[in-house]
Amino acid sequence: MTIFFNNLKELSIKRKDINIKEGSAVYSASKKEITLTGENYMNDVYHELFHVASSFVQSGNIYSGFYQGHWYLIKTIGRGLTEGYTEKLAEDYFGDTDKIGRFYAYEVYVARIIEQIIGEDVMKKLYVRANLPELIRLLSVYVSEKEVISFLNNLDFVEKYRKATNINKVAYEVLREAFRSVTFFLIKIYVKKLVGERMEYEIFNEMIWNFVNGLCLEFNSFGTYFEIMKYEEVQEYLKNILRNEKIVLIDEGIGR
């Protein structure tokens, strides 16, 4: 909350292209400025206010939610997860209006899973304090730190290019690989979390299948680039992970 009030004190608002019907809002953490474009910018404002509440600049570095980047944007990390979680908060607090939840629908879904892993209160706290290192540390309880960082980078890549049109074959393959890696990471960390909770086998079994089926269903609804993820492929990955944990699942997933 301290960040929020400090930023509010210095926040300036700029208007652009006021005659355009479509609208948007963008927050610049370095300038502490929201730029409102067109007429229908209100849904974006909710989203941007969460950026205002969670961003600060220190010695040329921008910290925003789970995002960290140098001023000149040479190397950045955590943008995908930050956008997803920002939109998730906007949805939770201001309702699912027309635009909210659509633009970042995929990132919101991913952010919700990460929130399930570390818990809602902790996730919110780390977001408003822009504490990425602690998020990485908490996720590294279940998988290696290297895997967490690579997940964040892959999600950034997917966020940046998934809406691109006219993408060439090489870029398509890279995007496909990044998307697969994110999916596999989510499955792995979810399994590790459940295994650690030592629940009853039947419940474990049901939760795993619900999770994986939901994941495939959701991800395939996000457009062209996601249809490349085959259910069988996901199922095979899940079985491998469980084999390493010495768990055999009741095969409830097939055919769903």
Please identify, among the stretches 67-75, 77-85, 183-191, 245-253, the one whose residues bind Zn ion according to the rule CB under 5 A: 77-85
Please identify, among the stretches 8-16, 61-69, 83-91, 93-101, the one whose residues bind Zn ion according to the rule CB under 5 A: 83-91
The type of residue at 232 is E
Considering beta carbons, is residue 159 or 253 the nearer one to Zn ion? 159
12 close to 139: Cβ distance less than 8 angstroms: no
Q: Choose among 75, 84, 87: nearest CA to 162.
A: 84
Q: Choose among 210, 214, 222: nearest CA to 249.
A: 210
Tokens in use for 188? Answer: 């792995």
Question: How many residues of this chain interact with Zn ion, rule: CB under 5 A?
Answer: 2
Please identify, among the stretches 33-41, 76-84, 147-155, 208-216, the one whose residues bind Zn ion according to the rule CB under 5 A: 76-84
Report DSSP letters for 164-219, one per residue: -SS--HHHHHHHHHHHHHHHHHHHHHHHHHHHHTT--HHHHHHHHHHHHHHHHHHH
Q: Max CA-CA distance within the chain? A: 62
SS3 state of residue 142: coil
Q: Which of residues 154-173 bind Zn ion (CB under 5 A)?
A: none
Considering beta carbons, is residue 54 or 235 the nearer one to Zn ion? 54
CB of 130 to Zn ion, least distance (A): 14
H-run or E-run covering 63: strand 61-64
Considering beta carbons, is residue 54 or 153 the nearer one to Zn ion? 54
CB of 212 to Zn ion, least distance (A): 29
SS3 state of residue 116: helix
Considering beta carbons, is residue 83 or 156 the nearer one to Zn ion? 83
CB of 90 to Zn ion, least distance (A): 9
Binding flags for Zn ion, 33-72, as an x/- string (CB under 5 A): ----------------------------------------
CB of 26 to Zn ion, least distance (A): 8
Note the residues at the interface with Zn ion (CB under 5 A): 83, 86
